[in-house]
Structure formats: structure tokens, C-alpha cells
Chains A and B, each alone.
Chain A
Amino acid sequence: MRALVSAVYLFLYAPIALVVLFSFNAGRNASEFTGFSTQWYGKALSNGFLTDALINSLIIAFTSATLAAVFGTMAALGMERLSPRARAVFDGLFAAAIVVPGVVIGIATLVALVEVFAFINPVLASLWPGERPPKIGLGYGSIIAAHGLFSMALVTMIVKARISSLGRDIVEASGDLYATPLTTFRQIVLPQILPSILAGFLLAFTFSFDDFIVAFFVAGSKTTLPMYVFASIRRGVTPEINAIATLVLVASLVMIVVARVLMRERKAKTAATE
């Protein structure tokens, strides 16, 4: 049993380790490690297309995760106060946002936005006082919107789970002691749900940073990092891709580990108070 489980862990980590190892390979050969070198990292980071894609990805991930954290938390707090029927509608829509395949979300968003733009742009042009009216199209906004959908569902799910395990008595006690609802929220509720919000933010950031398929459809002329990696892979496997892949791995690893620690602390605290 132990041997079998060890084999599965090896299976999970060996391929990743191999990519990391060969990103430090001095030679170009994929099957022979000829010496240690960081030259591929240098090559990767001096590649303008790559750094542009990286910056795009960071902007999109940060913005969509922030919107998701704020609106998702608000939704989780608000849903508590809704009628059961309205709550069921929200639950269903959030579940759909998670379950509907990314490829369908990407296509549907593309189709809808193209139609909306085709309607808005002429209107905008006729209303615009100047010579060259602005034209809205696909780009940062559409990727952020599409990523925000999944991320909001994710944050709402995580924060809602936390709220449902929150002690009601302490909130009531705060009210009995004449705290305003806002004070109760700031001093009692927020500190308790903050780790979950942060964890949700980090998971949302990681999702957006790693997503390929949704961005692939709605990116317009922008390129995100996974789109760049995908395009490079299709041109052929090179040590430079190993270096980029390692950087992507490390970035998401840091995020997910911090997110898990935050969610653990919350669990430990709950266990302690119980």
C-alpha cells in the first residue's frame, strides 16, 4: 500500500521536476543533462513578447481576482438575507458558472460581446461629438469579465462556507451591546471571514493566471502568458519553454500554498474555539 501511494506521489511530481531540472540544462538536448546553466531564464526574460504576455496576465489576474473577492464576498453576505427561492437561483447560477466548460464560456462570451459591440459602436459613433469616435472591442475588459465570472463563483462558495460556520451568538451579542450593524461587521464578522476572502482571492488569481481556453476566445489582440506558452509549444519544445513553465509553476505554487495556509488557520481557529 505504502509503495503504491509513493508511486502515485512520484507520478504526480516527477514530470514537473523533470521540466524544472531541464530548465537549468546548459545544452539544448531534451534527453541529456549536460550542465547547469540559467541561460534559458535570461533568454526568456529578455524576450519582449513574453514579458508583455506576463504583464498582461498579471494585470488581468489581479483585476479579476480583486473584483471577484469584493463582489463575491458581498454576494455571500447578501445571499444569507435572501428568500430561499432567490437564494436557490443564485446557487444555481454560481454552480453553472463553475460547471459549464471553459470552452463554452469562452465561445458564448465571444458571441455575445461581438453582438453587443456591433450594436453599441454605431450608437457611440453617432453620439460622439469629435472626429474619431472610440470603438470598444475585445481585450483586457473581456478577459477580466469572463475570468471574473468563474472567480466570483469560487469566492462566493468559499466565503459562504465560512459564514455558515460562523457563530451567530457573538453577532447578536454585539448588537445587544449597541454596536451598529456596520461596527459589528467591521469588528466581528470581517476579521473572521477575512482569511477565506484572501484565500478566495489567491485561488481566483491562480485560476486567471493559469487559464488558457477562456482567454483564447475573448482576448482579441491581447496575449496572456498561457496563450504565449501554448503558441510556443506548438512551434516546438525548447529549453526556453521549460524556463517559462518553471516560472509559471513557481508563481502558482506560492499562491496556492499561501491560500491553503490561510484556509488552514481558519480551520485551526474554529477547532480551538469549539
Chain B
Amino acid sequence: MPLAPATKRNLVTSALVAPAAAWLFVFLVLPFIAILVFAFGERAPEGGYQAAFTFAQFANLGSRAAAFRNTMMIAPVGAFLCLIVAYPVAYFLAVKASPKYRLVLVSLVVVPFWTSLLVRTYAWMYILGSRGLPNLLDMVGISDVRMLNTPGAVLLGIVYGYLPLMIMPIYVSLEKLDLRLLEASADLGAKPLSTFFGITLPLSLPGVMTGTALVTILLLGEYLIPQLLGGGKVFFIGNALVDLFLQSRNWPFGSAIAVTLVAVVVLVLLVAMRIAWRFAGTRQVDLV
């Protein structure tokens, strides 16, 4: 008996989404449930996990306060520095660059993001290390400069690593900008600066928001940059996690930190979306 068309359609749809659904369930939902369960458990004497129901792991979060403090301070500052460097570049690409070279220039920004962050961070380790810049400074008489393993080095690595991710959303929002608005503003006697703050900046805010949220969220889980450029002195939540799981094998406590980190990421995301919605709302009102 042939299947009814509606049934057949449903079967095809299910077959199409089934592998991805299974993957998402087994390798995303299930692992998250696992760390949630572990976070309320106890550390077995030999390491690993022992079943229990206790809030002790969460109560103990304070013992890793330094990692949380570093992450919560350096991530937003890093994102802000990224924004300051990224905005002029995005503006140039969208408004000033000649269309002939625009594509190449945009590609040159995107490409580094898809090359190994490990290698790009290593490059700065190489430059800031004792045989790099400090060595050159030593030759001109400025000795004993330490650059590696400082908060400054971590911030530099952050700006370097995440700059492309900040430039792109701002570029996209500025690209949609109607240049006639800028001309009109100038014709009506506005100074360039007031045109910028009155028109360009407000219209590019969605891109600024997206970029800042994206970079901040990714930075909250960063491991490589603080590890390589902070040398254990400037460590993030990610570094504390690696330490807890692979060195001291305290899986329940590590799980509690991981769950907290996800909660922070979700919170930042919700706040960012909230603000983005508000901007979208006012823009619509303005249009009417």
C-alpha cells in the first residue's frame, strides 16, 4: 500500500534531520546533563566522581575567585580594546575604501581568524619572549624589560586574536549605511564629528553590539591566550578548568565551574540580545 503523501513527507523530513538531532543529543545535551549531575556530586578519594547530592562544589567556587575575577575583568576590557581598534578599520572598509580593493581588504581581515589561534598566539610569544623585543631593547640600552606573562601581553594577544571577529559585524552594519544620509547631513551644515555621532555611530550600533557580545562570550572561555602569554600568572576560568580536570582530577568541582561558566555566557548573551532588541525597537519607531 503506498504511503499517504503527508506521511511520506514527514518520513523524509525526519530522515533528513535525524542524524543531526542524534548528534546534538548525544554530544551536546547528554554531556551537559552529565556535568550538571557531576556538579552536585562529590570527588572520589582517588579522583573522579562519586555520586551524591550536595551544593558543596558551588559553595566552594570562591576558592577559584581569582580565575573568575581575571576573566570577568580582562574579557570585557579586551573586547573594548578590540572595538576601539576595529571600528576605524570597519569604517574605512565600508565607507572610504575604493570598491576595487574592498573585497581583497575585507578578505585580508577575515583570513587570519580562520588560521590557527595557537600559531598566531605563539607568534606573540616569540616576539614578546626574552629573545624577542626585550632583547632588542636591551641592545639599545633598555634592559630588564619583561613583556611576556603580564596582563598587558594577554590583552595584546586578545586584541590580536579577536580583531577580525570584531571588525566583520561592524563592517556589515556600516556597509548597509546609506551614504546619502552622510551627504545630507553635511549639506545641512553638520560638522563631520556631529555627523559621525548623530548618524554613523547610532546606525552601526547593531554591529558594534554583535561584535562586542561575540568577542566577550568567546573570551569568557578562552584558554590558549592566557596560558601562552600569561604564563600561569594571568589565568582565566578556562585555565582553572584544565587544571582541575587534568591535573588535580577534581571532576565535580570542575563541573560546577563549567556549569557556572555556561551560566555566565548565557547571561551575557541574554543581556546583549535584550539591548539589541531595544535598539531594533527604537529604530523601528524612528522609521514610523
- Which residues of A line the B interface, CB within 8 A? 1-2, 4-5, 8-9, 11-13, 15-16, 18-19, 22, 29-31, 70-72, 74-75, 77-79, 81-82, 90, 93-94, 96-97, 99-105, 107-113, 115, 145-146, 148-149, 152, 156, 203, 206, 209-210, 212-213, 216-217, 226, 229-230, 233, 237, 241-242, 245, 248-249, 252-253, 255-257, 259-260, 264
Contacts and interface: CB of A to CB of B under 8 A. Distances in A.
B155 interface: no
B149 to A, nearest CB: 13
B72 interface: no
A101 B220 contact: yes
B96 interface: yes
B34 interface: yes
A5 B112 CA distance: 16
11 contacts: A12-B112, A74-B20, A78-B17, A100-B28, A100-B262, A107-B258, A148-B23, A212-B118, A229-B118, A248-B119, A252-B116
Contact of B108 (A12, A97, A252): A12
Interface stretch (B130-138, B178-186, B278-286): B130-138
Contacts of B132: 30-31
A16 B261 contact: no
Given A99-B269, A108-B32, A112-B31, A15 B17 contact: no
Nearest to B238: A103
A241 B26 CA distance: 37
Contacts of A145: 23, 26-27
Contact of B123 (A9, A18, A102): A18
B240 to A, nearest CB: 10
A8 B12 CA distance: 50
Contact of B24 (A9, A74, A149): A149
B255 interface: yes
Interface in B186-229: 217-218, 220-224, 228
A256 B112 CA distance: 9
Contacts, number: 230
Interface residues of B, number: 78
Contacts of A217: 245-246
Contacts of B24: 90, 93-94, 97, 149, 152
Contacts of A148: 23, 27
Given A30-B132, A229-B118, A107 B255 contact: yes
A79 B18 CA distance: 11
B68 interface: no
A242 B119 CA distance: 9
A242 B129 CA distance: 14
B165 interface: no
A242 B14 CA distance: 48
Contacts of A230: 118, 224
Contacts of A111: 31, 34-35, 38, 49, 251, 255
Contacts of A19: 119, 122-123, 126
A99 B262 CA distance: 9
The 8 lowest CB-CB distance pairs between A and B, nearest first, are: A101-B221, A78-B16, A108-B31, A75-B20, A15-B123, A78-B17, A112-B31, A112-B34
Contact of B122 (A1, A112, A233): A233
Interface in B224-283: 224, 228, 238, 241-242, 245-246, 251, 254-255, 258, 261-262, 265, 269
A100 B263 CA distance: 10
Interface of B, secondary structure class, is helix
Given A75-B21, A110-B245, A212-B117, 19 more contacts: A8-B85, A16-B115, A74-B17, A75-B20, A78-B17, A81-B16, A94-B24, A97-B24, A101-B222, A102-B223, A104-B261, A107-B258, A112-B35, A145-B27, A149-B27, A152-B20, A210-B115, A237-B129, A245-B123
Interface string B115-157: 1111110111111010110011000000000000000000000
A49 B269 CA distance: 41
Kindly name the residue among A31, A245, A256 whose own CB sees the greatest number of chain B CB atoms within 10 A: A31
B119 A74 contact: no
A107 to B, nearest CB: 5
Nearest to B224: A212
B27 A156 contact: no
A78 B13 contact: yes
B92 A97 contact: no
A71 B123 CA distance: 36
Nearest to B103: A264
Contact of A30 (B12, B16, B27, B131): B131
B110 A229 contact: no
A5 B95 CA distance: 13
B77 interface: no
B107 interface: yes
A16 B131 contact: no
Nearest to B237: A103
B99 interface: no
Given A90-B17, A213-B223, A230-B118, A31 B136 contact: yes
